[in-house]
Amino acid sequence: MVNQYIRSENVMRTKKITLPESEMPRQWYNIMADMPTPMEPPLHPGTGEPAGADDLSPIFPMGLIEQDMSQERWIDIPEEVLEKYAIWRPTPLYRAYSLEKFLDTPAKIYYKNEGVSPAGSHKPNTAIPQAYYNKLAGTKKIITETGAGQWGSALAMACTFFGLECKVYMVKISYNQKPYRRLMMETWGAQCIASPSTETNAGRTILEQNPESPGSLGIAISEAIEEAVNTEGAKYSLGSVLNHVMIHQTINGLETQKQMAIAGDYPDVVIGCAGGGSNFAGNCTPFVRDKIHGKEIDIIGVEPSSCPTLTKGPFAYDFGDTVQMTPLLPMYTLGHNFVPAPIHAGGLRYHGMAPIISQLLLDKLIRAESVHQMETFQAGITFARTEGFISAPECNHAIAMAIREALKAKEEGKEKVILFNWSGHGLVDMAAYQAYFQGDLSDYPLPKEEIKRALEDIASLPKPKQYQPGRFE
Ligand SMILES: Cc1ncc(COP(=O)(O)O)c(C=O)c1O
């Protein structure tokens, strides 16, 4: 009897690969140490000259600025940050047996579940260290923006852990679509305001031009920076795009590499959705490092067809915000005045892209694809009905691409290993699913005239050496 029991347990397939806390990485990985082409520098918004640490110090603490400019390959994670990470990390890696069976594919599909954090996404991976380095520098209050509310809620939690005040400008369309996100922020002690608001000059100007503005991340960033630089003891914080954010998120990819080794597999394809680029960078850059050293991997960033920054935008210098307060960043962009259609993947409605991701795309170490909204929801529902988890609308973009790749593997008869980053759960996004079930959602094809118009606003800005025109003809 006993033997039989053991035997049956031994043949059970491993569904999730977990790591003990003792195996949690103690260092973040910085791909800037390994990139074949160094990134061009950010430029000061006023002078157009390369921006240095002093230019950034009014808005960020020095600990983060140093990481942003670091060429160190490995950066130690402070003990206080590891302690907080341990609340939910290491996160499990799953083998999607049921999805594979449903798709009848020879591909093996793995997904890394970042939705198990208290805020429900990958965003606390950077919120915790950002709050920590601010606390260390004597900051009293952090002001930020949020799209879908995942970042705002993650930072609200991190600030409460380190005894900091937190204020969040939330893009108005998402503020209305996702009321429970605001309540999560309030539960963690933060203040949440719909943007554009009347609290800042930036918000008032936008509202004068368009009282019905649904808001955008670019506008909300302008509001948050304006208030941060004008408030004693306050700093600004960004949940994506910047180098230090990409570095913090690598805790994910480093764990994934250990877990894939335990599973005895190595990915042929690595997929992540890309808004500002942080969950994608976090999961993929340790694999990009392997690719630089000779591994063959197809690494795909997935974005909405209605906001096709990587697939259609030029590689140019542009502002990170609408009111032109941030440094000019070398990145793929649709122009800082571009206001994306009101899709439910609020976290992917951003005009720009992380300079690190942009440079990796320029160097063809990664590639980009875009997916329409309806396909992403169909994919999310297929995932929920096979694997169980209900995904954030952003994350549905990664699932849609994983399904495309698994079906391609079926057509080609190849047993590919596909890995995607499941960046967050959608339990606070059920209104989006309701809209889908009621037939109220649609695709938003983006007319090229609209992109062209938005790009006119960056035509006169300095051009990076590696400038590339847009691809919307
Ligand atoms: C669940 C989830 N995935 C992905 C994103 C996209 O952001 P990023 O590209 O920085 O990972 C967001 C942003 O809010 C998000 O909430």
- State pTM to two decimals: 0.96
Q: pLDDT-derived band of residue 154, with 50, 70 and 90 as boundaries?
A: very high
Inform me whether the pLDDT recorded for 347 exceeds 90.
Answer: no
Residue 2 confidence (pLDDT): 41
Pocket of ligand 1 (CB under 6 A): 121, 147-148, 150-151, 240, 273-280, 347-348, 392, 394-395, 423-424
| Nearest protein Cα to ligand 1, atom 1 | 424
Do residues 320 and 218 touch, judged by C-beta distance below 8 A?
A: yes
Q: What is the mean pLDDT of residues 396-401?
A: 98
Quick one: which atom of ligand 1 is closest to the CA of 240? 10
- Average pLDDT score over residue span 199-208: 96
Please name the residue that has the structure tokens 């993650």: 154
Name which residue sits closest to atom 12 of ligand 1, judged by CA: 347
Longest distance between any two alpha carbons in the chain, whole Å = 79
pLDDT band at 1 (very low <50, low <70, confident <90, very high): very low
How far does residue 278's CA lie from ligand 1's centre (Å)? 7
**Which tokens go with 272?**
């992540």
Question: Which residue's alpha carbon is at the smallest distance from atom 14 of ligand 1?
Answer: 347
Q: What is the pLDDT of residue 4?
A: 43
Q: What is the mean pLDDT of residues 142-162?
A: 96
258-313 tens-digit pLDDT: 999 999 999 999 999 999 999 999 999 999 999 999 999 999 999 999 999 999 99
Q: In this predicted structure, what is the pLDDT of residue 121?
A: 98
